[in-house]
Amino acid sequence: MATSTAKTSAAAPLPLFYTKPTLLDAASHAEWGLRKDMTFAFASGANALPVNIVEFPQIAHYYPIAFAKDAVATPVAVVGVRDNENLYINEEGNWLSGAYIPAYVRRYPFILSESPDGTQLSLCIDDAQGVVSRGSGEKFFDEKKQPTQVAKNAIEFCRSYHVAAKQTMTFGEALEKSGLLVDRSADITLKNGQRISFSGFRIIDEEKFNNLPAETLLEWRNKGWLAAVYAHLFSGLHWGTITRLVNERMPEAPAKAATKAKK
């Protein structure tokens, strides 16, 4: 599936979850396949997941949407408030039934490598434990060394994701310049009385948003950004969902043994 010889700089940080992105090549990886028993366990240690602007309406129905403190205000779905804990994945590596799964997660273990001039994209896979199978699994290439449907589906999904990610970056840059983002923290009280303070994220200040100039609102509407803003504001309701899920993970307090009164 290589369409270029683009390589990632050794100094560049790897994207979340990826440990060894490898350019797929029919000659070198004819026997490689995707493990059929792969689960979502790879995402179990993340408490926030990158999301794209086109996903906001779906994300808002299940997760709080927040913005990272970076230059492009990267939007994330909050999936946990403690370190190394995704509340939407169980011990078997299964996602919470019925909940929308962010595209970033569904894309894994595939990812595109972009050439330095941005004109060519190549399909890569994360050569990580529990992902790639040699000689079995869902093969990436057939006997004629042509991409299988698995590989074709992967590159189409990755291309769509790539386009959406660029649109999201443009939105984030505009949001960063707008002055609408404010620092926030979430304080959650557990059923045992303990409190968790989750911080380091930003949200859109609704009052500031409502006071944007009319021409800015018109511009954002024409670009389709207003729907994303409203979805973000709506998503704040799901801090209650996060609280419920945290409490469900808490072990029940041991029952106190009954004592008999002495006569």
With CA atoms as reference, report the closest residue to 246 among 186, 185, 191: 191
**pLDDT single digits (tens) 30-84:** 999 999 899 999 999 999 999 999 999 999 999 999 999 999 999 999 999 999 9
Q: pLDDT value at position 254?
A: 53
Q: pLDDT value at position 194?
A: 87
Q: pLDDT value at position 115?
A: 77
Strand partners, 196: 188
Q: pLDDT value at position 169?
A: 97
Query: Which backbone phi and psi does 34 adopt, to 5 degrees?
Result: -85, 130
CB 125 within 8 A of CB 155: no
Res 85 pLDDT > 60:
yes
Q: pLDDT value at position 130?
A: 86
Q: What is the band of 127 on the pLDDT scale with cuts at 50, 70, 90?
A: very high
Q: pLDDT value at position 205?
A: 97
d(CA 104, CA 195): 30
* CB half-sphere exposure, 249, CA atoms < 13 A: 18
Res 136 pLDDT > 90:
no
Q: pLDDT value at position 12?
A: 65
The pair of structure tokens assigned to 39 is 């689960």
Res 4 pLDDT > 90:
no
Q: pLDDT value at position 252?
A: 65
Q: What's the chain's average pLDDT?
A: 89
With CA atoms as reference, report the closest residue to 108 among 89, 88, 128: 128
**pLDDT single digits (tens) 169-219:** 999 999 999 999 999 999 998 888 889 999 999 999 999 999 999 999 999
Q: Which strand ranges, in their side-by-side order, compose the sheet holding 138-139?
A: 132-134, 32-34, 138-139
Inter-CA distances, 135 with 132, 142, 249, Å: 10, 12, 39
Neighbours of 227 (CB within 10 A): 15
CB 68 within 8 A of CB 76: yes
